[in-house]
Amino acid sequence: MSWPSGALSATACAIMASEPVYALIDCNSFYASCERVFRPDLAKTPIVVLSNNDGCVIARSYDAKPYVKMGAPWFQIKNTLRRHGIVAFSSNYVLYGDLSQRVMTLIESMVPACEVYSIDECFADLTGLSGDLTQLGREIRSRIMRCTGIPVGVGIARTKTLAKLANHTAKRLQVHTGGVVDLCENYKRDWVLRNTAAGEVWGIGRRLNAHLEQMGIKTASDLALADPATLRARFSVLVEKTARELRGIACLNLEDAQPPKQEICSSRMFGTRLSELEPIRQAVATYTSRAAEKLRAQGSLCKRIRVSIRTGMFNPNEIQHAQGALVELPYPTNDTLLLTRAATEVVGHLFRPGCRYSKAEILLLDLRQPGEYSGDLFAQEQPVASQNLMAVLDSINERYGRGTVRSARVPVAPDWGMKREFLSQSYTTKLDQLWKVACR
Amino acid sequence: MSWIYLGIPYAGTVSVPLYLFRIPAGFPSPAADHVERQISLDELFQIRAPHVYLAQVEGDSMRGAGIHSGDILIIDRGREAQHGEIVVAALNGEPLCKRLYRKHGVVILQSENSAYPPRHVLEGDELAIWGVVRHSVRDHGL
């Protein structure tokens, strides 16, 4: 992490000299917890959240876990849900995004520095803080609970990998730990390492774990004690770092802002199968404008766009077809209109009558920052007029909501749109969907 | 003018300028040096704060407190509810807006309308205080 450069006083030096301490704050069953915030009637009802198009289970509340497997297809478990009184929701990313932002803002206000790791996880650097860190963890937990209704666990340790493990332990032994575990002391750390399988460690995937087991590395403790050189030689420097981190040697710092992405993808299953070109064009236009928004949000331009469509791949009675095309753009651009024109035109060449398409994907490639490309003197550049137009478009859409101004190809409520039969309200982002509170 | 001036939450600030001068071609505006920050109802009501939420009222049991059906409540979740404050509370799972009476181990959810008797919270009831009502906003229907 980086301290403000002007602050290199005697105290700052003392802080830098002290051993690093990291925390991982992680929301419990985040999506399911979000669905409960404005539904106090569901406080004790098990909940599952379904993927886009209500396909399969992507999140479960704690009390739904014994009955439903992660990834179970919705149509297979419908009856199980009914039998156990489990309530299903379509994923409401608008709501989750808003509550996530609230949680992260609260964390930022309580720690010296942090790194938002995912929608429901945040690393914090607690290095040099005096006082009882477990107590700080409890304060973070209770403040987030009070201000948002989202339960979190806090793991504290000397490295990020150990903090993740501490957090895992806090969750696993919730009753004993009160949701906060501090592994800064060696005997606690060693106890947890001995009692955790190597496969539970951050960054150790299933396949890797199988290899480790062959080497006799079964627990996190075995991994911590393994020879670093061997790990690097047999696997990678990342596995070596993981082992060092388990021993308490910090190898990973808080990441600052993410570097701009090298490619941007926007893809989605259609709510229904499409066998005509026009609605597919609309979908392609819709995904393209979303991708272009992401492109402008990170301040990049793109020189190539890849468009692909495919049918379902599992029904043996249907024609299976997938095709993509790469379009070279005249100049590096972030202009929704130009990108849409390119994408909708090329999809006309990909489309084959008689196929029932299920998905389209837009990939923006060859991304660069403005000024980074050095075309020759006569290379064409994006006209200033399109830049201005896009700036106006973004500011209007930011103020009045996405899609207020859009390409005419993009419909408001398409009939090929995502299936979200169990969608909760946008309680926090739409004035016409506010939470209703009774005065009776 | 209607009072739904809060804008779409998280869609940027809606603000009312204190001074509205056109840029003059001739003399510079004498007020240019005195322009202050713009008024922001978002700031006044703190609706961008992570602990502040909006909700809409249904029913007239809080009429006496000036809270009418359809009004928008601005709720603070960061604050511990005190005796006498107007709260949003979930009673047996139902979200209600009431005045909280909490003294000597007695908890009552009081209405501000004689048609609605006080609701004593008894053993077996489940009460969760959701937040404290800081402001309410009314549309006067123009």
Query: Cα distance from B29 to chain A (closest Cα, Å)?
Result: 28
- The answer to whether residue A7 scores a pLDDT higher than 50 is no
User: Across the interface, do A149 and B10 touch by the CB < 8 Å criterion?
Assistant: no
Instruction: Name the band, by pLDDT with cuts 50, 70 and 90, for residue A103.
Output: very high
- The answer to whether residue B9 scores a pLDDT higher than 60 is no
Nearest to A438 among B9, B96, B130 (CB): B96
**pLDDT of A16-50, one tens digit each?**
457 899 999 999 999 999 999 999 999 999 999 99
With 0.80 as the threshold, say if the pTM is over it. Answer: no
**What single DSSP character describes residue B64?**
G
Mutation to test the B interface, candidates A142, A146, A435, A437, most B Cβ within 10 Å: A437
Distance of alpha carbon A162 from alpha carbon A154, whole angstroms: 12
Q: Please give, one letter per residue, the 3-state secondary structure of B21-61.
A: CCCCCCCCCCCHHHCCCCEEHHHHHCCCCCCEEEEEEECCC
Mean pLDDT across A92-117: 94
**pLDDT of B56-79, one tens digit each?**
999 999 999 999 999 999 999 999
Is the ipTM above a cut-off of 0.85? no
- The answer to whether residue B47 scores a pLDDT higher than 50 is yes
**pLDDT of A319-335, one tens digit each?**
888 888 888 898 899 99
- The answer to whether residue A14 scores a pLDDT higher than 60 is no
Instruction: Name the band, by pLDDT with cuts 50, 70 and 90, for residue A224.
Output: very high
Lowest-confidence pick of A302-311, A404-413, B82-91? A404-413
DSSP-assigned beta bridge partners for residue B76: B52, B132
Which residues neighbour A59 within 8 Å (Cβ) at sequence distance 6 or greater? A29, A30, A31, A32, A48, A49
Six-digit token string for A142? 């209770």
Contact A282, A417 (CB under 8 A): no
A79: number of Cβ within 10 Å: 9
Write down the pLDDT at residue A13: 40
- The answer to whether residue B17 scores a pLDDT higher than 60 is no
Tell me the C-alpha to C-alpha distance, in Å, between residue A330 and each of A3, A305, A375: 44, 11, 12
Contact A223, A217 (CB under 8 A): yes
Backbone angles phi, psi at B125, to 5 degrees: -80, 150
Cβ contacts of A428 on chain B, cutoff 8 Å: 9-10, 53-54
Contact A321, A296 (CB under 8 A): no
**pLDDT of B95-117, one tens digit each?**
999 999 999 999 999 999 999 99
Write down the pLDDT at residue A256: 58
Q: Which residue of A has its CA nearest to B116?
A: A440
**pLDDT of A108-144, one tens digit each?**
999 999 999 999 999 999 999 988 999 999 999 999 9
Distance of alpha carbon B99 from alpha carbon B120, whole angstroms: 12
Mean pLDDT (chain A) is 88
**pLDDT of A254-286, one tens digit each?**
875 566 778 898 988 888 889 899 999 999 999
3-state SS assignment for residue A172: helix
Cβ contacts of B134 on chain A, cutoff 8 Å: none
Query: Cα distance from B42 to chain A (closest Cα, Å)?
Result: 14
3-state SS assignment for residue A120: coil
Catalytically annotated residues of B: 61, 98
Question: Among A203, A156, A169, A221, which residue's Cα sits nearest to residue A19?
Answer: A156
